[in-house]
Protein backbone atom coordinates (compact mmCIF):
# COMPACT_ATOMS: atom_id res chain seq x y z
CA UNK A 1 0.00 0.00 0.00
CA UNK A 2 1.31 3.43 -0.91
CA UNK A 3 1.45 5.82 2.03
CA UNK A 4 0.76 9.48 1.32
CA UNK A 5 2.26 12.00 3.74
CA UNK A 6 1.16 15.63 3.73
CA UNK A 7 2.98 18.54 5.29
CA UNK A 8 2.53 20.63 7.21
CA UNK A 9 -0.42 19.38 9.23
CA UNK A 10 -1.57 22.96 9.71
CA UNK A 11 -0.58 26.00 7.69
CA UNK A 12 -1.36 29.54 8.83
CA UNK A 13 -1.41 32.10 6.04
CA UNK A 14 -2.82 35.61 5.66
CA UNK A 15 -5.43 36.38 3.00
CA UNK A 16 -3.80 37.53 -0.21
CA UNK A 17 -0.61 35.58 0.45
CA UNK A 18 0.59 32.39 -1.21
CA UNK A 19 0.10 28.97 0.33
CA UNK A 20 2.23 25.95 -0.54
CA UNK A 21 1.11 22.49 0.54
CA UNK A 22 3.19 19.35 0.12
CA UNK A 23 2.38 15.71 -0.45
CA UNK A 24 4.88 12.87 -0.56
CA UNK A 25 4.27 9.30 -1.72
CA UNK A 26 6.10 6.31 -0.25
CA UNK A 27 6.83 5.14 -3.80
CA UNK A 28 6.34 6.60 -7.24
CA UNK A 29 2.77 7.31 -8.29
CA UNK A 30 3.82 8.89 -11.61
CA UNK A 31 1.39 11.78 -12.16
CA UNK A 32 -1.63 9.90 -10.82
CA UNK A 33 -2.24 12.32 -8.02
CA UNK A 34 -5.29 14.39 -7.12
CA UNK A 35 -5.93 17.21 -4.66
CA UNK A 36 -9.22 17.82 -2.87
CA UNK A 37 -10.57 20.66 -0.78
CA UNK A 38 -12.97 20.00 2.08
CA UNK A 39 -14.84 22.58 4.10
CA UNK A 40 -16.59 21.78 7.39
CA UNK A 41 -19.76 19.79 6.92
CA UNK A 42 -19.19 19.41 3.19
CA UNK A 43 -18.03 16.63 0.90
CA UNK A 44 -14.57 16.84 -0.63
CA UNK A 45 -14.26 18.80 -3.87
CA UNK A 46 -11.85 17.80 -6.62
CA UNK A 47 -9.35 20.58 -7.35
CA UNK A 48 -6.50 19.02 -9.31
CA UNK A 49 -5.98 15.70 -11.11
CA UNK A 50 -3.09 14.28 -13.04
CA UNK A 51 -0.91 16.22 -10.56
CA UNK A 52 -1.35 19.50 -12.42
CA UNK A 53 -4.68 19.73 -14.28
CA UNK A 54 -7.36 21.89 -12.71
CA UNK A 55 -10.78 20.31 -12.46
CA UNK A 56 -13.78 21.98 -14.03
CA UNK A 57 -14.62 25.31 -12.47
CA UNK A 58 -11.52 25.54 -10.29
CA UNK A 59 -9.98 29.03 -10.21
CA UNK A 60 -6.59 29.62 -11.77
CA UNK A 61 -5.08 30.58 -8.41
CA UNK A 62 -4.95 26.84 -7.65
CA UNK A 63 -2.05 25.01 -9.26
CA UNK A 64 -0.47 21.61 -8.82
CA UNK A 65 2.98 20.35 -9.65
CA UNK A 66 5.25 17.38 -9.19
CA UNK A 67 5.57 13.80 -10.28
CA UNK A 68 6.90 10.56 -8.88
CA UNK A 69 6.92 10.97 -5.12
CA UNK A 70 6.88 14.74 -4.49
CA UNK A 71 3.89 16.96 -5.16
CA UNK A 72 2.85 20.51 -4.38
CA UNK A 73 -0.44 22.37 -4.32
CA UNK A 74 -0.03 26.12 -4.56
CA UNK A 75 -2.74 28.70 -3.95
CA UNK A 76 -1.34 31.92 -5.34
CA UNK A 77 -3.39 34.54 -3.50
CA UNK A 78 -5.55 33.22 -0.71
CA UNK A 79 -9.20 34.17 -0.65
CA UNK A 80 -11.39 33.80 2.42
CA UNK A 81 -13.17 30.82 0.86
CA UNK A 82 -9.89 28.91 0.47
CA UNK A 83 -9.44 28.25 4.17
CA UNK A 84 -10.23 24.57 4.44
CA UNK A 85 -8.63 21.14 4.70
CA UNK A 86 -6.76 19.82 1.67
CA UNK A 87 -6.12 16.16 0.86
CA UNK A 88 -3.94 14.51 -1.72
CA UNK A 89 -4.86 11.11 -3.19
CA UNK A 90 -2.90 8.66 -5.29
CA UNK A 91 -4.56 6.40 -7.82
CA UNK A 92 -1.54 4.88 -9.49
CA UNK A 93 -1.25 1.69 -7.45
CA UNK A 94 -4.58 0.22 -6.50
CA UNK A 95 -6.32 -1.13 -4.66
CA UNK A 96 -6.35 0.63 -2.39
CA UNK A 97 -6.39 4.23 -3.48
CA UNK A 98 -4.89 6.15 -0.60
CA UNK A 99 -5.27 9.65 0.78
CA UNK A 100 -2.91 11.82 2.73
CA UNK A 101 -3.90 12.76 6.25
CA UNK A 102 -4.75 16.31 5.22
CA UNK A 103 -3.38 19.83 5.66
CA UNK A 104 -5.55 22.35 7.48
CA UNK A 105 -5.15 25.81 5.95
CA UNK A 106 -6.10 28.43 8.49
CA UNK A 107 -6.24 32.19 8.58
CA UNK A 108 -3.21 33.83 10.14
CA UNK B 1 -25.93 17.66 -13.52
CA UNK B 2 -24.45 14.77 -11.59
CA UNK B 3 -26.19 14.03 -8.32
CA UNK B 4 -25.32 11.41 -5.73
CA UNK B 5 -27.62 11.07 -2.73
CA UNK B 6 -26.71 8.69 0.09
CA UNK B 7 -29.18 7.30 2.58
CA UNK B 8 -29.45 4.56 5.18
CA UNK B 9 -27.16 5.86 7.88
CA UNK B 10 -28.07 5.89 11.55
CA UNK B 11 -27.17 4.57 14.96
CA UNK B 12 -26.53 0.83 15.20
CA UNK B 13 -25.21 -1.44 17.93
CA UNK B 14 -21.86 -3.16 17.58
CA UNK B 15 -22.14 -6.44 15.72
CA UNK B 16 -25.28 -5.44 13.87
CA UNK B 17 -25.79 -4.65 10.19
CA UNK B 18 -26.75 -1.67 8.08
CA UNK B 19 -27.21 -1.08 4.36
CA UNK B 20 -26.35 2.22 2.74
CA UNK B 21 -27.72 3.35 -0.60
CA UNK B 22 -26.54 5.95 -3.07
CA UNK B 23 -29.01 7.14 -5.70
CA UNK B 24 -27.28 8.46 -8.81
CA UNK B 25 -28.57 10.75 -11.52
CA UNK B 26 -27.33 13.07 -14.23
CA UNK B 27 -24.93 10.62 -15.85
CA UNK B 28 -24.88 7.13 -17.35
CA UNK B 29 -24.54 5.24 -14.07
CA UNK B 30 -24.07 1.87 -15.76
CA UNK B 31 -20.88 3.09 -17.46
CA UNK B 32 -18.93 4.05 -14.34
CA UNK B 33 -17.19 2.22 -11.56
CA UNK B 34 -18.30 3.64 -8.22
CA UNK B 35 -16.61 4.09 -4.84
CA UNK B 36 -17.43 4.36 -1.17
CA UNK B 37 -15.15 6.57 0.94
CA UNK B 38 -15.59 7.22 4.65
CA UNK B 39 -14.48 9.82 7.15
CA UNK B 40 -14.45 9.21 10.89
CA UNK B 41 -15.36 12.23 13.04
CA UNK B 42 -12.53 14.75 12.95
CA UNK B 43 -10.37 12.45 10.83
CA UNK B 44 -9.22 12.16 7.24
CA UNK B 45 -10.61 10.34 4.23
CA UNK B 46 -10.44 6.54 4.00
CA UNK B 47 -11.27 4.65 0.83
CA UNK B 48 -13.64 1.74 1.56
CA UNK B 49 -14.60 -0.10 -1.62
CA UNK B 50 -15.03 0.09 -5.39
CA UNK B 51 -17.23 -1.76 -7.84
CA UNK B 52 -16.83 -1.97 -11.59
CA UNK B 53 -19.40 -0.56 -13.97
CA UNK B 54 -21.16 -3.92 -14.38
CA UNK B 55 -20.67 -5.19 -10.83
CA UNK B 56 -18.36 -8.00 -11.90
CA UNK B 57 -15.33 -6.75 -9.99
CA UNK B 58 -15.11 -5.44 -6.45
CA UNK B 59 -12.26 -4.40 -4.20
CA UNK B 60 -12.20 -3.52 -0.52
CA UNK B 61 -10.00 -1.87 2.05
CA UNK B 62 -8.43 -4.39 4.40
CA UNK B 63 -10.27 -2.75 7.31
CA UNK B 64 -13.67 -3.82 5.92
CA UNK B 65 -12.84 -6.91 3.88
CA UNK B 66 -15.09 -9.83 4.80
CA UNK B 67 -17.58 -7.59 6.60
CA UNK B 68 -18.74 -5.09 3.96
CA UNK B 69 -20.17 -5.83 0.51
CA UNK B 70 -20.48 -3.30 -2.28
CA UNK B 71 -23.11 -3.86 -4.94
CA UNK B 72 -25.13 -1.99 -7.52
CA UNK B 73 -28.41 -2.11 -9.39
CA UNK B 74 -27.93 -0.44 -12.74
CA UNK B 75 -31.65 -0.66 -13.49
CA UNK B 76 -32.26 1.57 -10.46
CA UNK B 77 -29.12 3.72 -10.78
CA UNK B 78 -28.28 2.84 -7.23
CA UNK B 79 -25.09 1.86 -5.40
CA UNK B 80 -25.18 -0.06 -2.13
CA UNK B 81 -22.92 -0.84 0.79
CA UNK B 82 -23.96 -3.72 3.01
CA UNK B 83 -22.17 -3.41 6.33
CA UNK B 84 -22.14 -6.41 8.67
CA UNK B 85 -20.46 -7.05 12.01
CA UNK B 86 -20.17 -3.34 12.61
CA UNK B 87 -17.57 -2.04 15.01
CA UNK B 88 -17.14 1.24 16.86
CA UNK B 89 -14.28 2.11 14.50
CA UNK B 90 -16.70 1.99 11.55
CA UNK B 91 -18.35 5.15 12.87
CA UNK B 92 -17.99 7.68 10.07
CA UNK B 93 -19.65 9.70 7.38
CA UNK B 94 -19.89 7.47 4.32
CA UNK B 95 -19.66 9.09 0.90
CA UNK B 96 -20.34 7.56 -2.47
CA UNK B 97 -18.16 8.99 -5.20
CA UNK B 98 -17.90 8.86 -8.97
CA UNK B 99 -14.65 8.89 -10.92
CA UNK B 100 -14.16 11.68 -13.40
CA UNK B 101 -13.46 9.26 -16.21
CA UNK B 102 -14.61 5.80 -17.19
CA UNK B 103 -11.57 4.32 -15.48
CA UNK B 104 -12.53 2.78 -12.17
CA UNK B 105 -9.61 4.06 -10.21
CA UNK B 106 -9.03 7.67 -10.88
CA UNK B 107 -9.73 11.02 -9.43
CA UNK B 108 -13.17 11.31 -7.82
CA UNK B 109 -14.96 14.23 -9.42
CA UNK B 110 -18.37 13.94 -7.80
CA UNK B 111 -19.29 13.11 -4.22
CA UNK B 112 -22.57 12.73 -2.40
CA UNK B 113 -23.35 14.72 0.73
CA UNK B 114 -22.58 11.72 2.92
CA UNK B 115 -24.56 9.69 5.42
CA UNK B 116 -23.50 9.29 9.05
CA UNK B 117 -23.14 5.84 10.55
CA UNK B 118 -22.70 5.67 14.32
CA UNK B 119 -21.85 2.34 15.89
CA UNK B 120 -22.58 2.49 19.58
CA UNK B 121 -24.27 0.48 22.29
By C-alpha distance, the chain B residue nearest A44 is B111
pLDDT value, residue A70: 98
Asked if residue A83 has pLDDT above 90, the reply is yes
pLDDT value, residue B80: 98
Asked if residue B104 has pLDDT above 90, the reply is no
Check CB contact under 8 Å for B111 and A43. Answer: yes
Asked if residue A99 has pLDDT above 90, the reply is yes
Check CB contact under 8 Å for A95 and B100. Answer: no
In chain A the domains, ranked by start, together with CATH numbers, are: 4-107 (2.60.40.10)
Contact of B55 with chain A, judged by CB distance below 8 Å, is answered with: no
By C-alpha distance, the chain B residue nearest A32 is B106
pLDDT value, residue B103: 78
The residues, ordered by sequence, that sit 6+ positions from B56 with a Cβ below 8 Å of its Cβ are none
Contacts with B105 from chain A: Cβ below 8 Å: 91, 94-95, 97
Q: What is the mean pLDDT of residues A71-89?
A: 96
Check CB contact under 8 Å for A96 and B44. Answer: no
Mean pLDDT of chain A: 97
Contacts with A97 from chain B: Cβ below 8 Å: 35, 47, 50, 105
List pLDDT tens digits, range B24-55. 999 999 999 999 999 999 999 999 999 999 99
Contacts with B106 from chain A: Cβ below 8 Å: 32, 49, 91
Asked if residue A43 has pLDDT above 90, the reply is yes
Q: What is the share, in percent, of chain A residues with pLDDT greater than 70?
A: 100
Q: What is the mean pLDDT of residues A37-62?
A: 97
pLDDT value, residue B47: 97
CA distance A43 to chain B (A): 6
Contacts with B108 from chain A: Cβ below 8 Å: 34, 36, 44, 46, 89
Could you give the CA distance from residue A100 to residue A55 in angstroms, rounded to a whole number?
A: 19
The residues, ordered by sequence, that sit 6+ positions from A57 with a Cβ below 8 Å of its Cβ are none
Backbone angles phi, psi at A94, to 5 degrees: -145, 160
CA distance B7 to chain A (A): 15
Report the candidate in B40, B121, B25 with the shortest Cα–Cα distance to residue B79: B25
Backbone angles phi, psi at B51, to 5 degrees: -135, 140
Check CB contact under 8 Å for B59 and A94. Answer: yes
Beta-carbon pairs below 8 A across chains A and B: 62
Parallel/antiparallel/unpaired status of strands A10-13 and A103-107: parallel
Residue B62, CA distances (Å) to A64, A75, A96, B18 in order: 30, 35, 9, 19
List pLDDT tens digits, range B72-100. 999 999 999 999 999 999 999 999 999 99
Contact of B41 with chain A, judged by CB distance below 8 Å, is answered with: no
Amino acid sequence: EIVMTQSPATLSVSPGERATLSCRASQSVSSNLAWYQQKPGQAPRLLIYGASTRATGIPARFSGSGSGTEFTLTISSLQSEDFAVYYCQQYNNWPPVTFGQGTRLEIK
Amino acid sequence: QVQLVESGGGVVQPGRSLRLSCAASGFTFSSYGMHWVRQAPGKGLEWVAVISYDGSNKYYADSVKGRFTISRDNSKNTLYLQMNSLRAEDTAVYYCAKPRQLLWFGELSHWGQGTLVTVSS
